[in-house]
């Protein structure tokens, strides 16, 4: 006779699902320098983005006859706080509308660090699993100590052996190199005034996980959009929710795949984002949910999370390309 086994229901981990569109289309991720340049700069950005939106939508339609596509826009209020939501957001929405674009969801980059009192960046950092290079022996400090993440073996420091022989220079090596190495070493954070300052690539990686529906905290979704009721925007950034829904679209914020339309000065940042995504131990329950639902719709996603993110990098006008990334 078998014995009954009793368990507390809270002992069984449960990953809550989130609504998913087919594609999350990012219409911009600009720095405060771009906003400071005024409506003309924003208008140029949206006009260039508009030229690519139809092509992206056509590609999505090829995968699904009637794709669910949501649009989003990310404002940098983390590294620099310029103006106020009351002044800035209406300008962004107006210039987007003039270009024939609609922004469904608007997010603050600071929300990728902390949202609703949850340390999102810290949580994702603890999920990093470094890919050890072949032949390594753990001599390199872990990313949790250094704040640097690489995709292979760094160049060993030149040293002198016990017999006084100076060892020659050795090249870095990419772990998954194909014929030749493309080695990258990415800074995830720095320390400033006694507090951790997350890097742009790391916050952008958190942003991608949110858009892909893969962020969870104790099984619960995080960075969930809040419907904005149309009232005036606040005069302080901290009074604006991390992620707001601006339209009545039925397409969810998170999606099976993402596409970001950004200036070509973001290429290095997004290369770093993909490196980070490749070394994150993403919530298994969330991964399974997305895989099953996408396959059920006949649109299976790649196993590698980084491969679910695509980009269009456009060339900026000569007078605006001087704005530098953080």
Whole-Å CA distances, 229 to 262, 271, 322: 28, 37, 37
131: nearest Cα among 276, 305, 308 = 276
The pLDDT tens digits for 152-169 are 777 776 555 555 566 677
263-286: per-residue pLDDT in tens? 999 999 999 999 999 999 999 999
The residue extents of the domains of the chain are 13-126+200-314
For residue 315, count other CB atoms closer than 10 A to its CB: 10
What value does the mean pLDDT take over residues 120-137?
A: 80
Q: pLDDT class for 295, splitting at 50, 70, 90?
A: very high
The token duo for 209 is 């996980």
Specify the DSSP element, H or E, that contains 309. strand 309-314
Measured CA to CA, the distance from residue 223 to residue 71 in angstroms comes to: 16
pLDDT digits over 297-322, tens only? 999 999 999 999 999 999 887 665 44
The DSSP element (H or E) to which 207 belongs, if any, is helix 200-211
Say how far apart CA 90 and CA 80 lie, in whole Å.
19
């Amino acid at each position: 006779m078998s014995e009954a086994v009793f368990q507390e229901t809270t002992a069984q981990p449960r990953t809550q699902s989130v609504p998913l569109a087919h594609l999350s289309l990012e219409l911009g991720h600009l720095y405060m320098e771009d906003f400071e340049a005024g409506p003309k700069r924003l208008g140029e950005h949206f006009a260039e983005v508009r030229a690519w939106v139809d092509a992206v939508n056509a590609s999505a339609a090829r995968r699904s006859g009637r794709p669910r596509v949501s649009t989003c826009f990310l404002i940098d209020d983390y590294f620099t706080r310029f103006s106020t939501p009351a002044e800035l957001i209406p300008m962004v929405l107006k210039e987007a509308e003039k270009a024939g674009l609609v922004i469904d969801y608007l997010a603050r980059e600071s929300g990728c660090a902390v949202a609703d009192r949850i340390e999102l960046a810290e949580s994702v950092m603890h999920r990093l699993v470094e890919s050890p290079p072949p032949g390594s022996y753990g001599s390199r400090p872990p990313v949790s100590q250094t704040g640097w993440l690489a995709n292979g073996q760094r160049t060993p420091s030149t040293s002198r052996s016990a017999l006084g022989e100076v060892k020659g220079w050795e090249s870095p090596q990419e772990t998954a190199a194909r014929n030749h190495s493309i080695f990258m070493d990415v800074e995830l954070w720095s320390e400033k005034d006694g507090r951790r300052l997350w890097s742009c690539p790391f916050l952008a990686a958190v942003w991608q996980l949110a858009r892909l529906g893969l962020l969870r905290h104790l099984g619960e979704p995080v960075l969930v959009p809040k419907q904005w009721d149309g009232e005036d925007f606040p005069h302080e950034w901290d009074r604006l929710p991390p992620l707001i829904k601006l339209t009545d679209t039925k397409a969810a914020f998170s999606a099976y795949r993402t596409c970001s339309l950004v200036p070509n000065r973001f290429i290095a940042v997004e290369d770093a984002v993909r490196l980070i995504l490749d070394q994150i131990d993403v919530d298994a329950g969330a991964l399974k949910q997305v895989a099953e639902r996408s396959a059920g719709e006949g649109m299976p996603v790649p196993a590698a999370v980084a491969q679910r993110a695509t980009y269009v990098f456009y060339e900026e006008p000569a007078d605006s390309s001087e704005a530098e990334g953080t």
